[in-house]
Amino acid sequence: MLPELGHFALILAMLLAALQAFFGIAGPALGRDRWTAAVTPAVAGQFVMVSTSVACLIASFVANDFSVTYIAENSNSALPLGYRVAAMWGAHEGSLLLWIFLLGCWTVAVAIGVSRLPPRFAARVLGVLGVVSFGFLLFTLATSNPFLRLDPPAPDGRDLNPILQDPALAIHPPILYTGYVGFAVAFAFGCAAMLEGRMDQMWARWTRPWATSAWAFLSVGIALGSWWAYYELGWGGYWFWDPVENASFMPWLMGTALIHSLAVTEKRGLFKSWTLLLAVLAFSLSLLGTFLVRSGVLVSVHSFAADPTRGIFILVFLIVMIGGALTLYAWRAPLLKSQAGFDLLSRESFLLFNNILLVIGAATVFAGTMAPLISDALNLGTLSVGTPYFNPTFMLSMLPLLALLSLGIRANWKRGRLGAAQRTILTTLVIAAIAGVILVYGVYSHGKVLSPVAATLGAWIILSSLVDPIDRIRRKLTLPRSVIGMSVAHIGLGIFVISVTTVESFTLERDVALGQGESAVVGNYEFRFQGIKPIEGPNYNGVEGTVVVTRHGVPTSVAYPQKRQYWVQRQVTTEASIQMHHGSNVFVALGDELGAGKWSVRFQIRPLVNFLWLGAFIMAVGGAIAATDRRYRVAPQAVTAPVATPGVAAGEGAG
Amino acid sequence: MNRFILPLGIFALLAIVLAIGIKRSPEKGIIPSPLIGKAAPQFTLPVLADSSRTLSSADLKGRWYVFNVWGTWCYECRAEHEALLEIQKLAQVPIIGLDWKDEEPDAVRWLAELGNPYEVVAADREGRTAIDWGVYGAPETFLVDPQGVVVYKYVGAMTLEAWQTRFVPRLPPRRAAKS
Amino acid sequence: MMRRVVIHTVLVCLLVASASTYAVDPTEMPTPELQRRYLGLTHELRCMQCQNEAISDSPVSLAADLRRQVREMLLAGKSDDDVRNYMVARYGDFILFRPRVAASTIWLWAAPGVLLLIGAAVAVRITKQRAALVAQDNEPVDEDIRSS
């Protein structure tokens, strides 16, 4: 009963999404105010239907309804309750439903948020979101229905993939998708502006909090995925430049450029076509990511079971959405010129460099990710691109960006006046350089050339971000959330940079064969292997090793690395022991039994690695703070900026 | 005007690449072999269950042969075994087997139970010869011509259909007709 | 049929790789230099069966065989390039994580540099344009950086 209800609700949701799209776009275009007004009820109705559908699916999971194919493939009666719920988004079909649900949540939030904006513009935004919803609902119902029945029903399920039975990985998709999907809002705002034929500074102000919050969610989502990979995948790696990872990183880079470009457009009415293009591209890359993961075009550790039929469907959807938006862009963007100017060393300039470097960074990742596809399509052979390509090429655009950040953050709008800030700039640079050198050579006693440079840049960013807030507090000036948010986010970035530097430069790793009582020395630590004992859990059994950790001769802790075998899928996972010591991670993981009582064991010392994710999280917090600045929550007034930028095409009636 | 069309233009190219990618996606994960058109790797290995004999690539020169890499531990090899027996019955080209990283008693028992489509089986206990042939996932099947040049490589379980559509067309007509 | 086997292999490797059963490789080479080269090469070569892992990390027997091959070649005094060429001759370019710099990959390696040059040219053009505009600009703007 429940699955049928869920299925039916989904069909209704699709119809309502179609109405939402139709009323939202045709209403304002044809000047029909009744249609324009019908959008909001359509939004509400669609959301109710989608929520019903999701609720039905989750309820069926909890009730262990193995007559539904999707549930039989992804759950099991021995699966703990929490994971039975999380299993709903554990594979392709359900994760699509999650996507659609989160899009519904954003749409409802937008509907509430735009209720004080001009109704036709608001309707257009919701209409574009309706098109996206409709596309995904159609795709799900046509090719990826989670409610299909299994006849005869399975006696029990095939269990959720054991690696997904983990708290971080359970919440990683919802948070990540919230970010991915969130860029649809900025996309919709951009399309609405293009449909209206008008884009001004108020538009930028309206769009900014939506873009920033989506960006914050995506930051957390990516960081969670990286953190999970680190402690679950057993290699101590946190980023593999895997195609699916890149698929989430590219929208993030574009999103970062977008939120900065929006600042310029809001403040000075400049960079309009840039901002518009970035808004379109950020979501386009999200959609592209969806395509790459589900179409079988790229083979990846992360990808869902692939199917070319789905691939074709999504490709058509991509062509309609992205092709449509870019066509609009080609048509409307030429009209968005402005005559405002700025100095070479002004804030606008630095944000321009920021835009360019981030786009180049994203393009680099794009090139490396798509290279195997492109090479194959052009019959240039089977190409393989991994970390040895991405690391140096990505750094090529990022290092200049990190350096320019500390300068740009001190520049004034329009006229720069960096000269006045010269002293503080130099002071912060010198302190940062000293800190960087001490860190690299003092604490760790060695390093490649790049290490102190990168550490200095990270420290410089942190110091530079503190200058303005401290100055304001001292002079008792206002400290709006936008400034706090900006500073916090940049500090997070600086922490992240320092952490990446130490991890990449100073990680120690050794694989050793150890018998009972034998020890290995890695860095300042000594590890003594005390043997293995069998263990059992709710849906697995396995072995657990005992390793005594000693630092400089002083016993510090005991590590208990495990290897588990899950009963149903008979899969073996490694639960590494990860402990924090003096800010570093000490990582111990079991390898294989080598016979004669010996086991191979992997040891890693990773300095400051936790600050990597902490830094990312702080960035997201900064974004959240900035997004809740007062001026976004105050009712919009008439445009008060002194420059009414001449980015106008036709009037209201034209679409 | 032209620079605003650029994003759309780039996207159009991308869409084409993606479409080609989808069309070719069933072949993803199958790596084209760099051995095609080159001389078959030299090897000398003991013959399965007959330690007095060895098989070397020189022995095989002068005629067409099929080189099939298999192992008793390999699930898909079991699936293809029927097809190999059928192909052997067609008597067009001899099938030479490479028993990859297997235990001799297991392999002997397997052939006794399921039937032996091979003219002779070389035992690659250590896997060195397989590496020379660029094997990465059993079963894999090669077609080699009388000059000792590798003509074709097929990855995956052999089927009669694959034999007829992919191997036979590469044989000279006289040989293909022999049955 | 072919696709089924490919999917089967991929799934096995997905389970294996994502199961975080990886290889721990306690090989010790006789000198630190050789050890460094050994680790470098085994991290650089792709496991052809579980194609998202390096042979240093992959638990399948093919990876162990390939690691043995690297070990033996290094002990026999071969250079790093000899090892790479050996692998590429048998498995193609796909076995290398770092794409070779060759005619077919030159576009990939050149792309970042070319993009940077284009970006620099764009930056120069725009900043020149806007700096010229600001010279004639008397309009008051809240220039204070304190409002972003």
Tell me if A568 sits within 8 A of A76, measured CB to CB.
yes
Confidence of residue B155 (pLDDT cuts 50, 70, 90): confident
Residue B141, classed as helix, strand or coil, is strand
| Out of C1, C91, C92, closest to residue B162 by CB | C1
Residues 6+ apart with CB under 8 A from A469: A479, A483, A484, A487
Q: Which residues from C are below 8 Å from B157, CB to CB?
A: 1, 4-5
Residue A642 has pLDDT above 50, yes or no: no
Which residue's structure tokens are 């320019």?
A404
Residue B133 has pLDDT above 50, yes or no: yes
B150 domain-assigned: yes
Q: In the predicted model, what is the mean pLDDT of residues B79-99? A: 89
Token digits of residue A152: 């005869």
A629 domain-assigned: no
Question: CA–CA separation, C27 vs C68, rounded Å?
Answer: 10
A626 domain-assigned: no
A330 vs B18: CB contact, 8 Å cut-off?
A: no
- How far away is chain C from the Cα of B23, in angstroms, using its nearest Cα? 13
- How far away is chain C from the Cα of A214, in angstroms, using its nearest Cα? 20
Pair A452, A515 in one domain: no
- Can you name the residues that pair with A590 across neighbouring β-strands? A601
Q: In the predicted model, what is the mean pLDDT of residues B62-67? A: 91
**Quick one: A122 exposed, middle or buried, by C-beta within 10 A (0-12, 13-18, 19+)?**
buried
A640 domain-assigned: no
pLDDT score, position B176: 66
pLDDT score, position A636: 54
pLDDT score, position A650: 32
Question: CA–CA separation, A137 vs A50, rounded Å?
Answer: 9
A647 domain-assigned: no
B26 domain-assigned: no
Taking each helix axis from N to C end, the angle separating A387-408 and A347-377, rounded to the nearest 10 degrees, works out to 170
Percent of chain A with pLDDT strictly greater than 70:
93
Question: CA–CA separation, A392 vs A147, rounded Å?
Answer: 46
Pair A366, A241 in one domain: yes
pLDDT score, position C5: 47
C8 vs B159: CB contact, 8 Å cut-off?
A: no
A323 vs B8: CB contact, 8 Å cut-off?
A: yes
| Out of A382, A386, A511, closest to residue C93 by CB | A382
Pair A397, A520 in one domain: no
Per-residue model confidence as pLDDT tens digits over A351-370: 999 999 999 999 999 999 98
A301 vs C113: CB contact, 8 Å cut-off?
A: no
What's chain B's Rg over C-alpha atoms?
Answer: 20
Pair A586, A600 in one domain: yes
Question: CA–CA separation, A371 vs A369, rounded Å?
Answer: 6
Pair A87, A104 in one domain: yes
Residue A607, classed as helix, strand or coil, is strand
Boundary (domain end) residue, out of A139, A160, A181: A160
Boundary (domain end) residue, out of A409, A430, A454: A409
Token digits of residue C69: 């091959």
A360 vs C26: CB contact, 8 Å cut-off?
A: no
| Out of B127, B139, B154, closest to residue C65 by CB | B127
B25 vs A334: CB contact, 8 Å cut-off?
A: no
Pair A401, A519 in one domain: no
Residue count (chain A): 655
Tell me if A21 sits within 8 A of A134, measured CB to CB.
yes
Segments forming the whole domain that contains residue A368: 161-409
Lowest-pLDDT choice from A172-176, A217-221, A248-252, A380-384:
A380-384
What's chain C's Rg over C-alpha atoms?
Answer: 25
C1 vs B28: CB contact, 8 Å cut-off?
A: no
B30 vs C6: CB contact, 8 Å cut-off?
A: yes
Question: CA–CA separation, B29 vs B176, rounded Å?
Answer: 30
B84 domain-assigned: yes
Task: State the best of B6, B13, B22 to mutate against chain A, taking most chain A CBs within 10 Å.
Answer: B22
Pair A152, A165 in one domain: no
From residue A263, alpha-carbon distances to A113, A413, A533, C79, C148 in Å are: 20, 11, 59, 54, 7
A28 domain-assigned: yes
DSSP character string of A463-509: HHHHHHHHHHHHTT----HHHHHHHHHHHHHHHHHHHHHHHHHH-EE
Residue C18 has pLDDT above 50, yes or no: no
Confidence of residue A445 (pLDDT cuts 50, 70, 90): low
Half-sphere exposure of residue B153: CA atoms within 13 angstroms, side-chain side? 24
Alpha helices in chain C (DSSP H): 2-18, 32-44, 61-75, 80-91, 106-135
How many beta carbons lie within 10 A of that of residue B54, not counting itself?
14
Q: Could you tell me which chain B residue has the CA closest to the CA of A274?
A: B4
- Selection from B165, B46, B43 nearest residue C90 by Cα: B43
- Can you name the residues that pair with B144 across neighbouring β-strands? B65, B150
A621 domain-assigned: no
Confidence of residue A649 (pLDDT cuts 50, 70, 90): very low
Residue A653 has pLDDT above 50, yes or no: no
Boundary (domain end) residue, out of A134, A160, A186: A160
Domain CATH code at residue B115: 3.40.30.10
Per-residue model confidence as pLDDT tens digits over A102-129: 999 999 999 998 888 899 999 999 999 9
Question: CA–CA separation, A303 vs B96, rounded Å?
Answer: 37
| Burial profile B66-98: b = 16 or more Cβ within 10 angstroms, e = fewer | bbbbbbbebebbbbbbbbbeebbeeebbebbbb
Residue C13 has pLDDT above 70, yes or no: no
Q: Which phi and psi angles does A590 have, rounded to 5°?
A: -85, 140
Question: CA–CA separation, A291 vs A74, rounded Å?
Answer: 22
Pair A348, A211 in one domain: yes
Residue A549, classed as helix, strand or coil, is strand
Residue A651 has pLDDT above 50, yes or no: no
Pair A184, A68 in one domain: no
Residues 6+ apart with CB under 8 A from A583: A607, A608, A610, A611
Q: Which residues from C are below 8 Å from A306, CB to CB?
A: 7
Per-residue model confidence as pLDDT tens digits over A187-199: 999 999 999 988 8
Number of structural domains, chain A? 4
C130 vs A357: CB contact, 8 Å cut-off?
A: no
Residue A260 has pLDDT above 90, yes or no: yes
Number of structural domains, chain B? 1
Pair A265, A405 in one domain: yes
Confidence of residue A58 (pLDDT cuts 50, 70, 90): very high
Confidence of residue C19 (pLDDT cuts 50, 70, 90): very low
Please state, rounded to an integer, the average pLDDT across all residues of chain B.
86
Q: A–B: how many Cβ contacts below 8 A? A: 76
A298 vs B28: CB contact, 8 Å cut-off?
A: yes
- How far away is chain B from the Cα of C103, in angstroms, using its nearest Cα? 17
* Cβ–Cβ contact C90 with B under 8 A: yes
pLDDT score, position A272: 92
Token digits of residue A393: 């090429």
Tell me if A579 sits within 8 A of A586, measured CB to CB.
yes
- How far away is chain C from the Cα of A52, in angstroms, using its nearest Cα? 33
Q: In the predicted model, what is the mean pLDDT of residues C62-75? A: 91
C2 vs B162: CB contact, 8 Å cut-off?
A: yes
Residue B179 has pLDDT above 50, yes or no: no
Pair A113, A136 in one domain: yes
Tell me if A76 sits within 8 A of A159, measured CB to CB.
yes
Per-residue model confidence as pLDDT tens digits over A140-186: 999 889 998 887 887 888 777 777 777 877 888 899 999 989 999 99
pLDDT score, position A654: 33
* Cβ–Cβ contact A162 with C under 8 A: yes
| Better-predicted residue by pLDDT, C139 or A321 | A321
**Strands (DSSP E) found in chain B:** 44-47, 50-56, 65-70, 95-100, 120-124, 140-144, 150-155
Segments forming the whole domain that contains residue B120: 35-177
B10 domain-assigned: no
pTM of the entire predicted model: 0.86
A653 domain-assigned: no
Q: In the predicted model, what is the mean pLDDT of residues A516-521? A: 89
- How far away is chain A from the Cα of B62, in angstroms, using its nearest Cα? 32
Give kind and range of the element (H or E) at residue A544: strand A540-551
Please state, rounded to an integer, the average pLDDT across all residues of chain A.
87
Q: In the predicted model, what is the mean pLDDT of residues B157-167? A: 88
Tell me if B53 sits within 8 A of A329, measured CB to CB.
no
Amino acid letter at A647? Answer: G
Pair A304, A370 in one domain: yes
Q: A–C: how many Cβ contacts below 8 A? A: 194
pLDDT score, position C72: 93
From residue C124, alpha-carbon distances to A175, C119, C127 in Å are: 39, 9, 5
pLDDT score, position C74: 93
Residue A155, classed as helix, strand or coil, is coil
- Selection from A43, A169, A51, A193 nearest residue A111 by Cα: A43
Residue A303 has pLDDT above 60, yes or no: no
pLDDT score, position A300: 53
Confidence of residue A531 (pLDDT cuts 50, 70, 90): confident
Residue B2 has pLDDT above 90, yes or no: no
pLDDT score, position A280: 96
- Selection from A653, A619, A589 nearest residue A179 by Cα: A619
Question: CA–CA separation, A587 vs A232, rounded Å?
Answer: 11
